[in-house]
C-alpha cells in the first residue's frame, strides 16, 4: 500500500436535502485511496436513495441508533476492512470537503490518534458563528473547561463532530463508543487510554439543513454529557489497551 487509506464516514439521519451536495463535494475532491461510507440511521426520508446515487458504500441501519451507534458502525466497518484512518464527516453541510486533505496530513504529521476540526481554535472563520446562540457558546465553554479539568488538555471545541481517527483509535472505538452525545466523552475516553488528541482549526459552515443534536435539548444535553465525561474519567482503562 503506497498511500495510507482513509474511510470517510458520513452519518446521516433524514438528511436527504443536503446529503447530495455534501457527497458530490466530497467526491470531487476525493483521492483514489479514500472511500466514502454513508451510514443511514434508519431515516424516514429518502436519505438512503440519495446516498446510493452518489456512493456504493451505504449501510442502512435496521433501527434508529442515534449518532453514537451510527458512527460506531463506521468504526466497525473501518476496522473490518483495515483502514488506516477514519474521518467523521457530517451530512448536514457543516463540514467542508476542502479541509479533508489538510486535516489528514495533520493527523499523520502529528501522529495523533484523534484530530478534532475546531470552529473556535485560533478564531478561524466560522461563518455561522454570529448565529450560534449565546447559550450554546456558554455551553461549549463549560464543556471545554470540564474537559480541561478531567484531562489537563485544552480543547476549545469539544462538541465538534469533524474528526479524524488513527487505526489505534478505530480499534478501540469500534468496540466501545459513547451512545447519545459521544463527542466530548470520546475525548476523555481516548485520553484515558493514552491516545494523542490534537485540535486544529477548521473552516465550517452553519448547517444548511437538519438540526443540531445539541440545540433543542440544551439542559438535558449538558447534564448527560457532563455526567458521561465524569464517569468516563473515573472508569478503568480499556483492557484491550492496557499495557
Partner 1 sequence: MNTLDVDINRIQILAIGGSVLFILFILYQIRAKRLREDYSLIWLFFGGVFLFFSCWRESLDYLSYLVGVAYPPATIFILFIMVLFMIVIQFSIIITKQSNQLLRLAQEVGRLKQKVEEQEDKDKKQRLEKAA
Binding-site ranges for partner 1 (CB under 8 A): 39, 56-63, 65, 69, 72-73, 76-77, 80, 179
CB of 208 to partner 1, least distance (A): 26
Q: State in angstroms the smallest separation of the CB of 139 from partner 1.
A: 26
If we measure between CA atoms, which residue out of 81, 156, 159, 94 comes closest to residue 123?
A: 156
Which residue lies nearer to partner 1 by CB, 70 or 147?
70
Closer to partner 1 by CB, 56 or 211: give it: 56
Nearer to partner 1, 45 or 60 (CB): 60
Closest distance between partner 1 and the C-beta of residue 137, in Å? Answer: 32
Q: Do strands 114-118 and 163-166 pair parallel, antiparallel, or not at all (unpaired)?
A: antiparallel
Q: Which is nearer to partner 1, 63 or 234 (CB)?
A: 63
CA distance 207 to 158: 18
Cβ at position 103, least distance to partner 1 in Å:
26
> Of 32 and 80, which has the nearer Cβ to partner 1?
80
The CB-of-59 to partner 1 minimum distance in angstroms stands at 5
Nearer Cβ to partner 1, position 61 or 97?
61
Dihedral angle over CA of 104, 78, 229, 159, nearest 10: 40
Q: Provide the 10 A C-beta neighbour count for residue 192.
A: 18
Report the run of H or E that residue 28 belongs to, with start and end: helix 16-29
Q: How far is the CB of 109 from partner 1 (least distance, A)?
A: 32
Kindly report the number of other CB atoms within 10 A of residue 240's CB atom.
10
**Which of 148, 130, 145, 157 lies closest to 214, judged by CA?**
157
Containing H/E element for 36? strand 34-40
Of 126, 102, 97, nearest to 115 by C-alpha is: 102
Amino acid at each position: 500500500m503506497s498511500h495510507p487509506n482513509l474511510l470517510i464516514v458520513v452519518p446521516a439521519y433524514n438528511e436527504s436535502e443536503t446529503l447530495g451536495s455534501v457527497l458530490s463535494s466530497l467526491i470531487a475532491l476525493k483521492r483514489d485511496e479514500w472511500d466514502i461510507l454513508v451510514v443511514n440511521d434508519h431515516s424516514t426520508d429518502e436519505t438512503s436513495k440519495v446516498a446510493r446515487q452518489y456512493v456504493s458504500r451505504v449501510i442502512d441501519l435496521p433501527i434508529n441508533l442515534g449518532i453514537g451507534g451510527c458512527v460506531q458502525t463506521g468504526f466497525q466497518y473501518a476496522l473490518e476492512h483495515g483502514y488506516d484512518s477514519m474521518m467523521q464527516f457530517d451530512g448536514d453541510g457543516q463540514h467542508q470537503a476542502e479541509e479533508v486533505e489538510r486535516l489528514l496530513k495533520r493527523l499523520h504529521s502529528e501522529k495523533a490518534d484523534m484530530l478534532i476540526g475546531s470552529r473556535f481554535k485560533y478564531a478561524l472563520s466560522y461563518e455561522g458563528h454570529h448565529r450560534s446562540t449565546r447559550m450554546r457558546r456558554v455551553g461549549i465553554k463549560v464543556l471545554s473547561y470540564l474537559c480541561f479539568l478531567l484531562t489537563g488538555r485544552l480543547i476549545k471545541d469539544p462538541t465538534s463532530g469533524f474528526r479524524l481517527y488513527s487505526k489505534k483509535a478505530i480499534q478501540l472505538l469500534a468496540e466501545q463508543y459513547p451512545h447519545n452525545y459521544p463527542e466530548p466523552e470520546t475525548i476523555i475516553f481516548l485520553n484515558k487510554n493514552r491516545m494523542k488528541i490534537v485540535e486544529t482549526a477548521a473552516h465550517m459552515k452553519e448547517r444548511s439543513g437538519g438540526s443540531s443534536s445539541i440545540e433543542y435539548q440544551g439542559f438535558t444535553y449538558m447534564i448527560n454529557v457532563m455526567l458521561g465525561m465524569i464517569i468516563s474519567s473515573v472508569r478503568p482503562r480499556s483492557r484491550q489497551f492496557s499495557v
